[in-house]
């Protein structure tokens, strides 16, 4: 039996002799890699923290102590050590474990978290709370009290919120441990001056000077001998540096490291000392992202969060060939090609991303236009402010960002962009339901947030031609902030034979022109029902409309704009008493459907004819995107059911009025 199968709780882990822990580490790596090859998921970041996770659970008792995660996608080893091996086969589905910390699964997960920068601040809050509750660790007054540790990594330390957390952590008068997992990467290569600082620490040859400063620091530490021993075991000289006079000192944090994050005995020794330290400190640990598998180490960006893959030649072999499974052309790929074309045609177009060049497609753009494209690291607020500055100086900035991460920069969208009347363009990848990443990553509120901003032009793409047309509209739009949203999905070729007309501000596109009651040359009678779809649900609505004929005639519009709306179309439909169904892959609260309902009320039209479909006012947890769409009624069968109900309700009301 594997050692891993014997670990039901961390108490079982602590019964193992240290000599067996490397075997357990390899079993954890094998289990994670085998599962992700079948289901997809976060691979390289989890492979890099296996020893660190084992050491933390070996030293601390997190059934009582506090362990918080920053960049929660590094939690797989932690989950396997806390009784969830049986949930691994269902990774990122409702039947198994989430890909991020999830308190619904286990008491060992304290926050459901998938956004970077938050861990230190929440840990400071728990440390203060435990102290106020008389439960915090104090070597004299409460030696059995709760300790607090937070793991931060993948370059999240450069995030502004992390800086704020560090600033406040330095004021604590108690034990508080920040474990800095420094793997020299974020999702891709980290950016900025702080990243270069860590590179300098890792690569410095001033070993003798560092050793001298280490001895001085160790004299101030209780039980410093264990840390001194760990230093002698370090295989790389720069990993043996201990100094309390480095960059983190400015936050009032004692710093130890960098240490070898794959040296289990050394990690355990230094963590035992850190566990009882009565002041806030940073343990700087150097790890290798993708550790243990040559293909993941060599290309940790590609294998940060890969789709399912197949390995030929053996996982451990140097010459193994890895083939990622693909299902078709993605919106992200389509966006990348569109941006290359846009920047070739217009030398004033510039673009940036916040640590997501691969995830947003800009990894294809940046080598072509190195002077007009930037990756600013995990700093969305800074990115949008920088785009505002570029707009102010006459450039045409496009900010490529996941919809879920736009939330972190809404203040800048309001203050530095919209209030100034600047034309900054937001390209919102992963809009709507995102599948396996679950509730922490759904792009469910970008419309609700952005439509509060005066003069904003909010668009959505339904396929690749409409994405290109939306970007071209945004390139020319100078009235203020603009955005286009598109999902983590494959682009449809349903309309490939039809010409995609240009976007015109506030105008929808009829996808069933024969049923357009506003078109004087429409070849058919007025429709029984009208669907106004914002984004890719328009394609599903078209398929459903075909399936419902001849039972009912359904006209489908690609709404194109959530702001400004096509109020002329809304008036024409409601004045003709044609029931309207709005559809969106976005929250029902404050989204496109709400905007349509508000417009009807302002025009004194009958809002009872409007049925809104969207994401319900509850959390949608991890599973495949197709299952999530079915769960919320946005798949084909759900739309068909809603269309029939809306039509029947309207007919029933009309019969009642006739009587």
Catalytic residues: 289, 380, 408
Tokens read off for 219: 């004299």
Closest CA to 43 of 263, 332, 293: 293
CA dist., res. 563 & res. 458, Å (int): 5
Tell me the H-state helices in 576-635.
Answer: 592-602, 625-631
CA dist., res. 213 & res. 255, Å (int): 12
Report phi then psi at 583, rounded to 5: -135, 135
CA dist., res. 151 & res. 552, Å (int): 57
Helix or strand holding residue 614 (H, E): strand 610-615
* DSSP state for residue 566 in the 8-state scheme: -
Is residue 560 classed as helix, strand or coil in its secondary structure?
coil
How many CA atoms lie less than 13 Å away from 534 in the CB half-sphere?
33
3-class SS letters over 350-377: EEEECCCHHHHCHHHHCCCCCCCEEECC
CA dist., res. 456 & res. 461, Å (int): 17
Tokens read off for 475: 């390139």
Q: What is the CA radius of gyration of the chain?
A: 27
CA dist., res. 586 & res. 219, Å (int): 58
- Crossing angle, helix 264-275 and helix 224-233, to 10 degrees? 160
CA dist., res. 128 & res. 146, Å (int): 11
Beta carbons within 8 Å of 213's beta carbon, 6+ residues apart: 241, 242, 243, 245
CA 434 to chain centre: 9
Give every strand in the sheet of 66-69, ordered side by side: 66-69, 148-153, 176-182, 280-286, 254-260
The pairing of strands 561-563 and 457-460 is: antiparallel
């Amino acid at each position: 039996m594997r050692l891993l199968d014997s670990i039901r709780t961390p108490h079982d882990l602590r019964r193992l002799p240290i000599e067996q822990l490397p075997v357990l580490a390899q079993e954890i790596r094998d289990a994670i890699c085998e599962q992700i090859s079948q289901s997809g998921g976060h691979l390289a970041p989890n492979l890099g923290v296996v020893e660190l996770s084992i050491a933390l659970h070996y030293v601390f008792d997190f059934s009582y102590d506090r362990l918080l995660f920053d960049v929660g996608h590094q939690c797989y080893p932690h989950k396997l050590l806390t009784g969830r091996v049986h949930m691994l086969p269902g990774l990122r589905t409702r039947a198994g474990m989430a890909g991020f910390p999830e308190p619904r699964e286990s008491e060992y997960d304290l926050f459901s978290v998938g956004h970077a920068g938050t861990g230190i601040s929440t840990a400071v809050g728990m440390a203060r709370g435990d102290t106020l509750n008389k439960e915090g660790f104090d070597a004299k007054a409460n030696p059995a009290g709760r300790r607090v540790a937070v793991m931060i990594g993948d370059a999240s330390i450069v995030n502004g919120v992390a800086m704020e957390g560090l600033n406040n952590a330095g004021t604590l008068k108690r034990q508080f441990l920040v474990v800095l997992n420094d793997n020299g990467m974020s999702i891709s290569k980290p950016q900025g001056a702080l990243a270069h600082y860590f590179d300098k620490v890792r690569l410095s040859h001033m070993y003798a000077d560092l050793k001298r400063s280490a001895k001085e620091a160790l004299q101030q530490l209780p039980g410093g001998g264990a840390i001194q021993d760990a230093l002698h075991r370090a295989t790389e000289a720069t990993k043996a540096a201990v100094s309390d006079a480095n960059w983190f000192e400015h936050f009032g944090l004692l710093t130890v490291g960098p240490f070898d994050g794959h040296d289990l005995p050394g990690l355990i020794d230094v963590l035992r000392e850190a566990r009882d330290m009565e002041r806030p400190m940073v343990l700087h640990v150097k790890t290798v992202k993708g550790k243990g598998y040559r293909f993941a180490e060599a290309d940790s960006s590609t294998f940060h969060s890969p789709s399912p893959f197949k390995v030929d030649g053996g996982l451990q072999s140097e010459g193994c060939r890895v083939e990622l499974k693909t299902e078709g052309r993605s919106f992200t790929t389509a966006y990348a090609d569109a941006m290359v074309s846009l920047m070739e045609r217009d030398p004033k177009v510039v673009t940036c991303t916040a640590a997501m060049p691969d995830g947003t497609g800009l990894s294809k753009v940046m080598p072509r236009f190195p002077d007009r494209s930037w990756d600013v690291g995990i700093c969305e607020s800074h990115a949008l402010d920088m785009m505002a500055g570029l707009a102010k100086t006459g450039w045409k900035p496009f900010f490529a960002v996941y919809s879920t991460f736009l939330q972190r920069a809404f203040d800048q969208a309001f203050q530095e962009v919209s209030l100034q009347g600047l034309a900054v363009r937001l390209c919102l990848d992963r809009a709507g339901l995102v599948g396996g990443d679950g509730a922490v990553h759904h792009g469910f509120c970008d419309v609700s947030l952005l439509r509060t901003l005066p003069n904003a032009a909010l668009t959505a793409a339904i396929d690749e031609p409409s994405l290109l047309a939306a970007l071209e509209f945004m390139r020319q739009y100078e009235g203020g902030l603009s955005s286009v949203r598109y999902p983590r999905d494959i682009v449809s070729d349903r309309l490939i034979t039809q010409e995609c007309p240009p976007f015109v501000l506030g105008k929808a596109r009829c996808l069933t022109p024969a049923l357009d009651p506003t078109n004087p040359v429409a070849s058919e009678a007025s429709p029984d029902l009208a669907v106004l779809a914002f984004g890719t649900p328009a394609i599903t609505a078209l398929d459903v409309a075909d399936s419902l004929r001849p039972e009912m005639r359904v006209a489908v519009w690609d709404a194109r704009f959530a702001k400004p709306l096509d109020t002329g179309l809304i008036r024409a439909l409601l004045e003709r008493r044609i029931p309207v169904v709005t559809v969106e892959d976005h929250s029902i609260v404050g989204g496109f459907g709400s905007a349509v309902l508000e417009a009807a009320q302002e025009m004194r039209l009958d809002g009872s004819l409007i049925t809104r479909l969207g994401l319900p006012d509850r959390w949608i947890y991890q599973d495949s995107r197709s299952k999530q769409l079915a769960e919320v009624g946005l798949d084909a069968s759900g739309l068909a059911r809603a269309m029939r109900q809306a039509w029947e309700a309207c007919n029933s009301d009309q019969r009642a009025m006739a009587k």
